[in-house]
Amino acid sequence: MAQKIKLTFLGTSDAIPSAKRNHTAILLSYNEENILIDCGEGTQRQFRKARLNPCKTTRILITHWHGDHVLGIPGLLQTFALSGYNKKIYIYGPKGTNQYIKEMLNSFKFAEKYYIEVKEVTGRFFESDEFYLEAESMQHGAPTNAYNFVIKDKIRIDKKKLAKAKLPSGPLLQKLKQGGDVFYNGKKYKSKDLTYLEKGKKISIVLDTLDNSKIIPFVKNANLLICESSFGKDLESHSKEHLHLTSEQAGEIAKKSKSKKLILTHISARYEANMEQILNETKRIFRNSYLVKDLDAVEI
């Protein structure tokens, strides 16, 4: 059975938090990886409220360097140091990230007891046997990235067919997984007869940005698209002026990219009393849309 991807929405507000919504932060958990996308002010307390250990974080993806997306980083790094964090922490972001991290660490007394590796990224920037991460530049005034987390397709052994064939475990099964045919006790076994393809999964994260031509190709066929929806249709001109997406634009992106599911986040506090407006405007365009609140968890 495929390993689930769990997403915990630690913060879902826009630039100004409300009593119910904290600054932006999303934790993506898969196997031993805990990837934090953005780290707004107060993210550490959100970890605690969600009963999650921040020191299990393995990577941090920064979309851009506006305060509501990064002001939680210094405190988080300090907590790592005070808690015996003994892994290398990887921090990825758009152009300027190296300099901003240096300035951030120089702005307070920081006891670095572990190694921090910072990379400014675009395109595919990390790959393991199971998944890869990629970035695409967006339009938000400051250098900005959207991100994809992609689990690769896998060839799986059909256990029922394997039991019937009575093949031993070991190198023969590994060859079958790689698409090769094998011989055992004088008989040929074809990979296609004993295996099946398990399709991978794609999670796309598009936060602060003006609508632009790069988004749809980048998020195409996402199993889950997480997208900002700072403003409703009523503030479309305001949204464009501030380089953000509206509820309707988020719905159009999901529809045109053939994404399977859309989650809306980064909602302006002015809609606090009428969140359904944002969701309903999006659902009229893309039915499989959902609005998250702080500490909601979703599995894919």
Residues noted as catalytic: 68
DSSP string for residues in 44-110: HHHHHHTT--GGG--EEE-S---HHHHTTHHHHHHHHHHTT--SPEEEEESTTHHHHHHHHHHTS--
Q: How far is the C-alpha of 281 from the C-alpha of 235, rounded, in Å?
A: 12
Structure tokens that stand for 163 in this block: 């039991």
Picking from 125, 55, 44, the residue whose alpha carbon sits closest to that of residue 85 is 55
Q: Are 241 and 96 in contact (CB under 8 A)?
A: no
Calculate the CA 137 to chain-centre distance. 15
Q: What is the CA radius of gyration of the chain?
A: 22
Q: How is residue 100 written in tokens?
A: 């901003």
CA angle 179, 183, 184 (to 5 degrees): 125
Q: State which H helix or E strand residue 251 sits in.
A: helix 247-256
Cα separation, 65 vs 63, whole angstroms: 7
Q: Which DSSP symbol is given to 56?
A: G
β-pairing, 131-137 with 123-127?
antiparallel
**Residue 9 contacts residue 265 (beta carbons within 8 Å):** yes
Query: 194 near 157, Cβ under 8 Å?
Result: yes
Report which of 199, 206, 197 is spatially closest to residue 226, judged by C-alpha positions: 206
**CA distances from residue 52 to 7, 49, 134, 184 in whole angstroms, order as listed:** 12, 8, 26, 48
